[in-house]
Amino acid sequence: MIASVEGRVSAAGADYVVVVVGGVGLRVFTTPAALATPEGDFLLLHTTLIVREDALTLFGFPTLAERELFDLITTVSGIGPRLGLAILSHMSLERLRQAVLNKQPELLTRVPGIGKKLAEKIVFELRDKLRGSTGAAAASSGDSADVDSDVTAALLTFGYSQAEASAAIQSIPRDTPADFEERMRAALAYFTR
């Protein structure tokens, strides 16, 4: 299994980047945060290799937590890797955990391709799995997820793209308080690095 890929970004598509590793370009399907990486910059993605009869496909994530959640989401019957990627592209980790742990399938139906029944199935199948490992963290992070939505909206009004805004939100340190000004300052710091 390919656990991670690190190299220079040589190209990007709508939902993938090509990362050159040892002279070989690997197409890695990923989230908007990684898609925001400019060509020529180095990128580290934590990956999952999906083996099918007719293809080997890499899915990569900027953080190990995202990859682990992707692996967990795709254990739900009816959720393939493309739909799992769509979920993580449209929802923050905290928002997804909150939706599952608080039994809020309506939050999942905002993701294209997720209907009411599938959202309820995701909540049902993942609730116990997420409760043991992340329940306390998820309960306390609901406020920061709401603030992050406001920060994202503000970044979009400043002219940043959705991908840039998502990357900035994901760069905010975990210990940043759930305060708009603090989280906005941390998000803007992403663009000055």
Tens-digit pLDDT profile for residues 127-167: 888 875 543 343 344 456 667 877 887 787 778 888 888 88
How many separate domains does the chain show? 2
Domain span at residue 150? 143-192
In a domain, 147, yes or no: yes
Last residue of a domain, one of 47, 62, 77: 62
Which of 62, 86, 109 represents a domain boundary (last residue)? Answer: 62
Q: Is residue 132 part of a domain?
A: no
* pLDDT value for 97: 87
CATH number at residue 181: 1.10.8
Instruction: With respect to residue 119, please indicate whether it lies within any of the assigned structural domains.
Output: no
* pTM exceeds cut of 0.85: no
Alpha carbon 91 to its chain's center: 7
Pick the last residue of a domain from 37, 62, 87. 62
Give the 3-state secondary structure of residue 44: strand
